Amino acid sequence: MLLAHELFEPACLQDPYPLYDRLRAQAPVARVGDSAFFVVSSFEAVLEATARTDDFSSNLTATMWSQPDGTVTAFGMGEPGNPIHVLATADDPIHAAHRKLVLPRMAAKRISELEPFIAATAAELIAEAGEEFEWMSALADRLPMLVVAKLLGLPAHDVERLVSWAYASTQLLDGLVDADQLTASGIAAVELGGYLTDRFTEASANPGEDLLGDLASYCAAERVSQDTAVFMLIQLVGAGGESTASLIGSAVGILSRRPDLAELLRHDPTMIAPFLEEVLRFESPFRGHYRHVLADTELAGVSLPADSHLLLLWGAANRDEAAFENPNEFRLDRPNIKNHLAFGKGGHFCIGAALARLEARIVMSSLLATGNTVRPAGDAEWQPSLLVRRLRHLPLRLR
């Protein structure tokens, strides 16, 4: 059994890997206190759970919520099959139908068309940052949302609000919110939903060549309801920039501490791709995602009752020595460097993975092209969260 408070200790939230190592060695599937939650930490068990979709639903029915007395309770998010479960939190055939509506905008040709915009925006944000700056607010949080806004058809001048709403509305998934933060998160979710409903209404009257226009047209053709379309938009805004912001933050954070790697990538840009894959493995953008246990079953020899919940720890699985040699070392010469689970696995593999990789590659190329050395200008700080592995503060100096 995993003591509930261990997951939420400040030291563990900043560096969860010692706990992950212990969990994999002692209990790859571990119950959290006496709660209905189990954390899954080994590569094999996480992989098995993603494949057993008849046993483990992607519906986000509850999240862990840390209590002042050190226990964990469930924060309910909606019963299995509730219409709020869309795209990533839906099960097939609903998930497949939603994915089919979005996929054309995420096709390779469409993504490549965004490259000039991403490159110009990245160069502009880097130039604006100056010589000493906080990387996340200067670029890592802003660029992905600018790209999401362009993809969806939202005004660029709304991006600051969108970033604020997105991070605030998903904060309740972090597991650490107090009453005031819970209220603020709820308000942000309502405001984001209202904003996207208004934009959807406008797109219904005048569909554009963007995802908003696509969904409005699908709604008119009765392929999707307006409520479902808006829920999909909320998810795309709320999580669409998260993995990319995490990847860009972690990549540059590692680069700032490893000038040898910066020189290698500057002299051999072909190494940027494997560098980013190793970043994804080493600091997976999402610490974990939940699954709902549909009926009494077992995983890795552990009995799981119906209506209990799994937290699949991608970050722990990607540091499993059974899958990766010397997993706590950052290495670019891994033969299986792309075999990580940072973007999930199977039918729910992240629909935006190719776009996230493209954005990160362009940012790295743009930053290295300045010829400047990137160095830390203070201590980095991770967002305290069970869900995301994203730097919220990364002070840097270019010289």
C-alpha of 127 from chain center: 27
Domain count, the chain: 1
Show the domain range for 394: 4-398
Alpha-carbon gap, residue 56 to 366, rounded angstroms: 42
What is residue 329's predicted lDDT score, i.e. its pLDDT? 97
Comparing 87-91, 171-175, 189-193, 307-311, the range with the smallest average pLDDT is 171-175
Flag whether pLDDT at 375 surpasses 70: yes
pLDDT band at 41 (very low <50, low <70, confident <90, very high): very high
The one-character DSSP state at 373 is: P
Encode pLDDT of 262-309 as tens digits: 999 999 999 999 999 999 999 999 999 999 999 999 999 999 999 999
Residue 98 to residues 6, 55, 219, Cα–Cα distance (Å): 37, 21, 12
N-to-C CA span, the chain: 49
Q: Who has greater pLDDT, 3 or 206?
A: 206
Residue 42 to residues 24, 49, 61, 181, Cα–Cα distance (Å): 5, 11, 23, 32
pLDDT band at 68 (very low <50, low <70, confident <90, very high): confident
Helix axis angle, 179-205 relative to 226-240, nearest 10°?
120
What is residue 240's predicted lDDT score, i.e. its pLDDT? 78
Encode pLDDT of 107-118 as tens digits: 989 999 999 999
Alpha-carbon gap, residue 44 to 37, rounded angstroms: 19
Alpha-carbon gap, residue 200 to 109, rounded angstroms: 25
pLDDT band at 4 (very low <50, low <70, confident <90, very high): low
Encode pLDDT of 209-263 as tens digits: 999 999 999 999 999 999 999 999 999 998 878 999 999 999 999 999 999 999 9
Q: Fill in the amino acid letter for 84.
A: I
pLDDT band at 204 (very low <50, low <70, confident <90, very high): very high
Residue 347's domain is classified under what CATH number?
Answer: 1.10.630.10
Alpha-carbon gap, residue 256 to 397, rounded angstroms: 9
Mean pLDDT, residues 193-201: 97
Encode pLDDT of 155-184 as tens digits: 999 999 999 999 998 888 899 888 888 889
Judge contact between 386 and 377, C-beta under 8 A: no
Residue by residue, DSSP assigns 277-297 as HHHHHHT-SBS-EEEEE-SSE
Rg of the chain on CA atoms, in Å:
21
Q: Which structure tokens are listed for 134?
A: 């906080």
Alpha-carbon gap, residue 131 to 171, rounded angstroms: 31
Judge contact between 2 and 272, C-beta under 8 A: no
What is residue 238's predicted lDDT score, i.e. its pLDDT? 84
SS3 311: strand
Flag whether pLDDT at 142 surpasses 80: yes
Sign of CA dihedral 19, 314, 75, 166: positive
Instruction: Say what the alpha-carbon torsion angle 235, 164, 61, 282 is, to the nearest 10 degrees.
Output: 80
Strands in 102-225 per DSSP E? 132-134
Say how many C-beta atoms besides its own lie within 10 A of residue 268's C-beta.
9
**Pairing state of beta strands 297-299 and 72-76?**
unpaired
Encode pLDDT of 47-57 as tens digits: 999 999 999 99
